[in-house]
Chain A
Amino acid sequence: MNGHFFIKPFVTPDRRFTSSGSTLICLLGYWVLLMFVFLSLTTMVSLSFFVYLQVYEPGDIAGGQDDPMMLAYNNLFVDNNGMVGEVLVWSLGYGSGNMLIFTTFIILYTAVEITMVYVVPWRVRRYVHAIIGVVLLLFALNKMGII
């Protein structure tokens, strides 16, 4: 088994994408973009937390006043009826979880294509992909409490 075995389902002999290859590259493109967005969000919030933990000194705040930095964060998240905070918590909680499900789908899609492309025609394989997609989508909706 060589590299040819893994590449052939996605590339035609004249080095163009097959329909499976086009789908896979679209999925990977969306994956990279979404991962960049969610990872930026989680990393920047984590970085804020880390830096804040390092610089926070309760003794410096005289007379029991609230820490201005904490108040600023609190205002950002809680103002506007908590909209920013809610959206942030939603993105952090469900965005990250759904990215894992999306990654699972891409891995399964690739695995199904590689294992079935030589023996099962596309008209059957597409139903396999659809079933995997629907099952993972239902799983995601279930985890989000929608169904």
Chain B
Amino acid sequence: MMNKRFILQKLWNFDEWLQNLHPLEPFVTEDLGLTRAGKMFGVLFGITLMLSIIALVATSIMAIVFVSDIMCYDTIDFAEIQMDLRDDMPLLSGIVWLGLSALFLIFYLLLYTFLVIVLHIFDVSAPRRLICHIGALVFVVLWFAPYWGPM
């Protein structure tokens, strides 16, 4: 009796396709150097890693303060907290902005990697690749634009 896996293999040669899929090829040259996409990935990942760590520390401290305030709502005066933090608003804005930027970078890193591999698989020409990458960048910017608005 044919099961679904067998049907998938027979219809689309999924296993064969998967065996021929080499996601490293667009990033690494034959002499084990980095291609332009590989260098871009390396730089993007390095920036994302550093920014994410800084953003995570800053936003988690800010979030813990907020949640702690809310948890002991009966014993605190939020108007007083607001007064105390009035001068620090640019700093708080910067922290939130940092977190959003890190999220943006992570999201773009995933999309960029996915796009490079997919475009390599379908052997898309260089001008069309450029259009796809610009399109992806615009998509991610538009996705996050409403969150940057309140800043």
Contact = CB atoms under 8 A, between A and B. Distances in A.
A15 B64 CA distance: 45
Interface residues of B, number: 48
9 contacts: A13-B32, A17-B24, A28-B45, A42-B60, A49-B65, A54-B89, A73-B73, A85-B71, A103-B49
Q: For A16, A17, A45, A88, which residue has the most chain B Cβ atoms within 10 angstroms? A: A45
Given A15-B30, A39-B103, A47 B150 contact: yes
Interface of B: 22, 24-25, 28, 30-34, 45, 49, 52-53, 55-57, 59-60, 62-68, 70-71, 73, 78-79, 81-82, 85, 89, 92-93, 95-96, 99-100, 102-103, 106-107, 109-110, 147, 150
A54 to B, nearest CB: 8
Contacts, number: 144
A88 B67 CA distance: 8
Contact of B67 (A32, A56, A67, A92): A92
Interface residues of A, number: 50
A45 B65 CA distance: 10
B53 A56 contact: no
Contact of B55 (A43, A71, A74, A88): A43
Given A15-B25, A46-B96, A39 B30 contact: no
A138 interface: no
- Interface secondary structure of B, over-half rule: helix
Contacts of A147: none
Contacts of B31: 4
Given A39-B55, A42-B99, A53-B85, A8 B32 contact: yes
In the A-B complex, the 7 residue pairs with the smallest Cβ-Cβ separation, listed nearest first, are: A43-B99, A45-B63, A49-B66, A96-B60, A42-B59, A58-B79, A46-B62
A47 B147 contact: yes
Contact of B56 (A8, A39, A85): A39
